[in-house]
Amino acid sequence: MLEKNIKKIIKEALLEDEALNDITSDLLVTKNNIIKFKIATREDIIFCGKDIIINSFGYLKKIPKFRNCKIDFKILCEDGDAVKSGDSIVEGIGSANLIFATERVILNFIQHLSGISSITNKFIKLLNNKKIKILDTRKTIPNIRYIQKYAVKSGGGDNHRLNLKDMILIKDNHIASLGGINKITQKLKNNKNKIEIECDNIEQVKNILNINPTIIMLDNMSITEIKKASTLIRNYSKKIKIEVSGGINLDNIKKYSNLDIDFISIGSLTHSVKSADIGLDIIPFPLNK
């Protein structure tokens, strides 16, 4: 599914960028204009996007305009690798037309994905508790959710539900629309799906325990409230998983490291991440030996 999704979004991105109609390169260079290049990071990162690079060049090579254009490159790291500032991610040689046609699309994606992997890894290191998993959310950019969630995994995190079909997640708006938790309880009697229920306070936690959900999400609660709620849940059942969400960032993540919880979900991993500083540079050709 991931490979199919990558190919689809790359095709759409290259078409959006009019990669087949680069009037600047068409004017200035020919397919016989061979250059050496490298893609390097300008800051310490957790890299993500190897398949983006492979499939971007691969897609254009199938197009008649670029079919006879030379491209030979080597990716020097794997997804999830820590790469130091100044280190090369890719080094290669090929047609200037082909390289310039795909440069922006490749950089946009690997900058974004590596940004996600890097911030996820920072959260994990600051939390410093292997028993608590860092999760993403559905707060993703439309149509690139698969690769954003893959980037979270590359950074050492875990994925929450992929989509609305993945699991039942009962939020406050569901409860409000049905007039209370009792109506929810009735509708779940014969359900066999995995269930997660969101709670905003201790009273809500008390009211849903008899449903025996798979996961209880403690949303926007204070550290004190989380401690009380987790004690209540653990005393009721050791099987129910506890997730914490809402307002968690790099400045306060350490406060959650000693809590008796299973997951921390963080929307900012994907919805407002800063892209990694990665660039493509031309290497003087021929190289001095």
Cβ-based burial of 277 (10 A; exposed 0-12, middle 13-18, buried ≥19): middle
**According to the model, what pLDDT value does residue 192 have?**
78
- The yes-or-no verdict on residue 287 having pLDDT over 50 is no
Amino acid at 239: K
Q: Note the pTM of the prediction, 2 decimals.
A: 0.94
**Residue 56 CA: distances (Å) to CA of 7, 108, 190, 264:** 8, 12, 47, 34
- Extract the runs of DSSP E, i.e. beta strands, from 33-75: 34-41, 45-46, 71-75
How far apart (Å, rounded) are the C-alpha atoms in residues 75 and 80?
13
**According to the model, what pLDDT value does residue 2 have?**
76
Domain with CATH 3.90.1170.20 in the chain: 2-118+274-283
Q: Quick one: pLDDT band at residue 286, thresholds 50, 70, 90?
A: low
Q: Give bridge partners of residue 169 from the DSSP assignment.
A: 196
How far apart (Å, rounded) are the C-alpha atoms in residues 43 and 278?
8
Higher pLDDT, 281 or 194: 281
- Of 29, 34, 22, 14, nearest in space to 282 by CA: 34
- Of 207, 200, 136, 216, nearest in space to 168 by CA: 216
State in words which class domain 123-271 has: alpha beta
State in words which class domain 2-118+274-283 has: alpha beta
* Average confidence (pLDDT) over 117-121: 98
* Average confidence (pLDDT) over 64-70: 94
Q: For the packed helices 96-127 and 50-61, what is the interaxial angle rounded to 10 degrees?
A: 160
**According to the model, what pLDDT value does residue 269 have?**
97
pLDDT tens column, 250-284: 999 999 999 999 999 999 999 999 999 999 999 87
pLDDT tens column, 74-96: 999 999 999 999 999 999 999 99
What residues have CB less than 8 Å from 211, skipping those under 6 apart? Answer: 184, 185, 188, 195, 197
pLDDT tens column, 158-168: 999 999 999 99
- The yes-or-no verdict on residue 62 having pLDDT over 60 is yes
**According to the model, what pLDDT value does residue 76 have?**
98
**According to the model, what pLDDT value does residue 63 have?**
95
- The yes-or-no verdict on residue 289 having pLDDT over 60 is no
Mean pLDDT, rounded, of the chain: 93
* Average confidence (pLDDT) over 17-34: 91
**According to the model, what pLDDT value does residue 288 have?**
44
* Average confidence (pLDDT) over 63-70: 94
Amino acid at 146: Y
Q: How many residues does the chain have?
A: 289
Q: What radius of gyration, in Å, describes the C-alpha atoms of the chain?
A: 24
* Average confidence (pLDDT) over 13-26: 95
Domain with CATH 3.20.20.70 in the chain: 123-271
How far apart (Å, rounded) are the C-alpha atoms in residues 117 and 89?
15
pLDDT tens column, 213-247: 999 999 999 999 999 999 999 999 999 999 999 99
**Percent of the chain scoring above 70 in pLDDT:** 98
- Which DSSP category does 288 fall into? P
- The yes-or-no verdict on residue 182 having pLDDT over 80 is no
**According to the model, what pLDDT value does residue 155 have?**
98
Cβ-based burial of 142 (10 A; exposed 0-12, middle 13-18, buried ≥19): exposed
Diameter of the chain measured on Cα atoms: 77
Which range (29-38, 130-139, 170-179, 280-289) has the least confidence?
Answer: 280-289
- The yes-or-no verdict on residue 285 having pLDDT over 80 is no
How far apart (Å, rounded) are the C-alpha atoms in residues 57 and 10?
10
How far apart (Å, rounded) are the C-alpha atoms in residues 233 and 199?
12
